[in-house]
Structure formats: C-alpha cells, structure tokens
Amino acid sequence: MHKLFHKILLPFLLSLAATVNAAVPTTNEFGVTPMSITLSGKDAIKSMILANSSSNFIMLDSKIFRWQKINGADFYTPDTSKAVMVVPPVFRLKAKSNQMLRIALLNRLPHSQEIMYKVFLTESASSGDLRSQLIRQNDTNSTQKEEIKLNFRVGIPIYVLPDNPFRKLVWQVQNDGEKIKIHITNQGNAHVKIIRIYTSPLDQSNTTLTQVEPFISVYPGETSREFTLFTPPSSNGRMQIHVVTDPETPAIGTHFDL
C-alpha cells in the first residue's frame, strides 16, 4: 500500500429542492487510499481506507461489477461469480473518522489475462434522508421548507492478476520536428500504469529534455493510447523516449530510440 494518502474527488449526484447553506459533506472531505487494488493467488487480501474529514456521517454500501475496456469505453456488468468480496459490505462512516475495508479474492479460476472489477461505494438513500431531517430540525429559524438529498458514489478498480502476468509496450512514433506523437499499445496480459513519459539524449536517460505526466493506465488488448511531446529545441543528435511506470506494474519496452 502506498504510504502517501491519495485523495480522490468523489463523483456525486445532487438533487436540490432548495438552495441552503447547511453543513453537509463536500466532495473534498472524503479520501480513499489506495486508489486501486491488485489481487493475485499469492496476495488475495488487501486493505483500503476510506476517510471522512467532514462533520457529518454517511451510510455507504458496496457493489462489485465486472469491468471491461472496449475501444476506450467502460462497460460494467453485475458480478455473478462472487469471486471478490468487500468486508464490511455496508457501513456507517462516522464524522472525523476512518473506515478500513477488506477486499478479498475468494474464488480464483485459472485465467490467462487480467480480470478487472470495480467496487462502487454508494451512499444509501436512508443516509441522505436522515441527514436532511437532521438539517431541517437544526435549522429552526428557516421559514422555507428545505430538503437536500446527496448521493455519493465512487468506483475503485480491482485487478485480479493472471498466473504469469507480463506487460509489453509496443510503440509507434512520429516526429515532425515540432511535436512527437506517440502511440503505445500494451501487448501483455495485465495493465500498465504510466506515470511519466520523457525524452533524453541517447544513452543519457537521467537527462530530461521534454516530458508529460499523464498518470493513466494502458490495458491489455486496448486500442493504442496517444501521447504528444514537444520536440526539444536542441535535438540535433539522437534521442530516446522513456516511459516511467508505477513500480507495481513493471513493463518491458519502456524506451524507444528516436
């Protein structure tokens, strides 16, 4: 698990019958770490921390879906295999507190390619209704009947590795003298998290000429991902393009001679 606490802005749906200045949880008051979970036969249980820094509680329940990437689009289907479990599946996240969740791989069938899931943590309807009642009860000076309903929802990727995971990056590069267009395809059987792409003089990988930090994943079998770098102004000599991946997703083919 990463030592740094990663915060993600939780997507939410708002239904407002009236606009009020009530104390309700906001999206930047919740954090999840880590931002994804990787399971395998050797590492079948992981922990996840959900933190609430607001002054309000929230009731959450979890649902697991099979997740597929097809031509860049996300597709979800209810998980009927019961291969992955979240404990506890329903919980109350108190104000100014943390909740630990356990993600467990229960049924690992043989597979040659990574299987992807997402666990969606969603605020239950009763949670929003109860907080709305509390707000109205505490707002005795209000002359207008007010109602607030909040539904928080966040999806956490879960990756189940195959028996022999590998990640192989294949490149297509075009340099017109001003911009370098890069197409990267993952011909392996597990996803790659790309943190940074940069150019350097040939055989001087520690020298950065230009760079981008996309922080994205490239999935096996997915249509190639495109990146653009500016051509360095002093690029008369040979260059290399490098991909820096997350330590948890090492890959081969992480540099290209230009």
Domain ranges for the chain, please list them. Answer: 12-160, 169-257
Question: Is the model's pTM score more than 0.75?
Answer: yes
d(CA 172, CA 102): 41
Tell me whether the CATH fold assigned to 12-160 matches the one assigned to 169-257. yes
What distance lies between CA 258 and its chain's CA centroid? 32
What's residue 203's pLDDT?
A: 84
d(CA 49, CA 180): 40
The helix (run of H) or strand (run of E) holding residue 120 is strand 115-123
What distance lies between CA 66 and its chain's CA centroid? 15
User: What amino acid occupies position 106?
Assistant: L
Pairing of strands 169-175, 84-87: unpaired
The backbone torsions φ and ψ at residue 42, rounded to the nearest 5 degrees and listed phi first, read -85, -20
User: What amino acid occupies position 92?
Assistant: R
CATH classification code of 169-257: 2.60.40
CB atoms within 10 A of CB 239: 21
Asked if residues 84 and 106 have their Cβ atoms less than 8 Å apart, the reply is yes
d(CA 124, CA 142): 27
d(CA 215, CA 164): 25
Cis omega (within 30 of 0) for bond into 88: yes
pLDDT, one tens digit for every residue, the chain (258 residues): 443 333 333 333 333 222 233 333 445 588 899 999 999 989 999 999 999 998 888 899 999 999 998 877 899 999 988 899 999 999 999 999 999 999 999 987 778 999 999 999 998 865 655 555 554 455 555 444 444 455 778 999 999 999 899 999 999 999 888 899 999 999 999 999 999 999 999 888 899 999 999 999 999 988 788 999 998 876 667 899 999 999 999 999 998 888
Residues facing 73 on adjacent strands: 70
User: What amino acid occupies position 7?
Assistant: K
CA angle 64, 2, 46 (to 5 degrees): 40
Pairing of strands 37-39, 148-160: parallel
CATH classification code of 12-160: 2.60.40.10
The backbone torsions φ and ψ at residue 35, rounded to the nearest 5 degrees and listed phi first, read -85, -5
Asked if residues 52 and 96 have their Cβ atoms less than 8 Å apart, the reply is yes
Select from 20, 16, 118 the least CA-distant residue to 64: 118
